[in-house]
């Protein structure tokens, strides 16, 4: 199923100069772009990397971007994310940190001569072992939007990342499974009976953050308390939700203190999750600023595109 988010009327007289693609495990999003980095149209589908065999990627891409192409012209397509993983279209080998986040692109052979496809490699860190695919493009976008940026970047998500940027380079990073842990506990564990799918409780969240920072080990015992309090004291589902989120984000912040302590943090992701991280950091007297994730992905892909074309 493809969903075109914006009208593509404008593209009949104004074809894409190039196409930006964020291709993750479960979704693919594409944007028709101008050389200057303006967005003409966008599309998204659920044909994520996880559901495709290598030979299926080209057709999945063309199904969504075909309208943006011109016969007789080769349009560059620049894609970041899990599309470049070993199980993806073609493996784009990790580059080792420290390095500039704006990548050297890897070309992928295609059969349709209307496109030339380039993948952004992910980053790796040997000790402690860590990897990222996609987030490096957002950090590159942050540097493109704020030249000279130095400091700490937090990218909340299924696998949230903390990264340090010094002298234009991504010097080190660490991944936390906080988002995936939250989803597993909230929807698959015994806590699913007690944790609401919506609603929020600011006080409960703040209290959980404080507990996790003060005594990280206690979190492992506090989780089941959410179920027990629901049984014994009618804990509200929205409060359980905010506390579960607070315990897990708090545990991450306790471990990531070396990143955010005494720093101003650039949070990438203007979602509710990004705002929860900002709130938590504020509770810990750390400053943060939220940046829109999609905008930075496009800026990072644009920076990569400029490397190809020399625009």
> One symbol per residue from 88 to 107: x for binding a second copy (CB under 8 A), - otherwise; what is it?
------x-------------
Q: Which residues contact 106 (CB under 8 A, 6 or more apart)?
A: 84, 90, 92, 93, 118, 119, 120, 121
CB-nearer residue toward a second copy: 229 or 292:
229
C-alpha span between 33 and 269 (Å, rounded): 21
Phi, psi of 167 (to 5 degrees): 55, 40
Does 155 participate in binding a second copy (rule CB under 8 A)? no
Does 130 participate in binding a second copy (rule CB under 8 A)? yes
* Contacting residue, 218, 236, 284, 308, with a second copy by CB under 8 A: 218
Among 100, 94, 107, 82, which residue's Cα sits nearest to residue 141? 100
> One symbol per residue from 39 to 78: x for binding a second copy (CB under 8 A), - otherwise; what is it?
----------------------------------------
C-alpha span between 84 and 93 (Å, rounded): 8
CB-nearer residue toward a second copy: 216 or 237:
216
* Contacting residue, 72, 109, 147, 221, with a second copy by CB under 8 A: 221
Stretch that binds a second copy, among 4-12, 29-37, 138-146, 225-233 (CB under 8 A): 225-233
Q: How far is the CB of 97 from a second copy (least distance, A)?
A: 12
C-alpha span between 241 and 182 (Å, rounded): 9
Among 198, 195, 158, which residue's Cα sits nearest to residue 179? 158
Stretch that binds a second copy, among 13-21, 144-152, 216-224, 275-283 (CB under 8 A): 216-224
* Contacting residue, 93, 166, 184, 311, with a second copy by CB under 8 A: 184
CB-nearer residue toward a second copy: 50 or 54:
50
* Contacting residue, 177, 283, 295, 308, with a second copy by CB under 8 A: 177
Does 251 participate in binding a second copy (rule CB under 8 A)? yes
Among 24, 12, 17, which residue's Cα sits nearest to residue 49? 24
Q: In the complex, which residues of this chain contact a second copy (CB under 8 A)?
A: 86, 94, 124-126, 128-131, 159, 174-178, 180-181, 184-185, 188-191, 215-225, 227-229, 231-233, 248, 251-252, 254-257
């Amino acid at each position: 199923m493809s969903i075109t988010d914006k009208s593509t009327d404008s593209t009949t007289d104004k074809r894409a100069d190039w196409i930006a693609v964020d291709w993750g495990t479960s979704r693919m999003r594409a944007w028709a772009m101008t050389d200057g980095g303006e967005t003409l149209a966008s599309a998204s589908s659920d044909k994520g990397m996880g559901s495709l065999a290598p030979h299926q990627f080209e057709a999945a891409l063309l199904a969504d971007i075909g309208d943006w192409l011109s016969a007789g012209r080769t349009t560059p397509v620049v894609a970041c994310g899990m599309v470049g993983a070993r199980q993806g279209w073609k493996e784009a080998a990790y580059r080792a940190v420290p390095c500039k986040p704006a990548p050297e692109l890897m070309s992928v052979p295609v059969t349709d001569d209307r496109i030339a496809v380039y993948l952004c490699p992910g980053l790796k860190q040997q000790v402690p072992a860590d990897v990222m695919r996609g987030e490096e493009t957002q950090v590159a976008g942050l540097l493109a939007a704020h030249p000279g940026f130095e400091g700490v970047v937090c990218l909340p998500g299924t696998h949230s990342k903390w990264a340090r940027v010094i002298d234009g380079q991504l010097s080190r990073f660490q991944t936390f499974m906080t988002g995936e842990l939250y989803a597993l506990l909230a929807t698959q564990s015994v806590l699913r009976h007690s944790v609401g799918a919506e609603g929020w409780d600011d006080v409960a969240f703040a209290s959980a953050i404080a507990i996790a920072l003060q005594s990280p080990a206690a979190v492992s015992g506090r989780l089941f308390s959410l179920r027990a309090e629901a049984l014994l004291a009618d804990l509200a589902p929205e409060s359980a939700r905010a506390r579960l989120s607070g315990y897990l984000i708090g545990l991450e912040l306790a471990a990531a203190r070396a990143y955010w302590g005494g720093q101003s943090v650039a949070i990438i992701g203007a979602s509710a999750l990004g705002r929860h991280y900002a709130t938590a950091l504020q509770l810990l007297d750390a400053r943060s600023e939220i940046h829109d994730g999609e905008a930075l992905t496009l800026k990072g892909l644009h920076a990569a595109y400029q490397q190809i074309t020399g625009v």
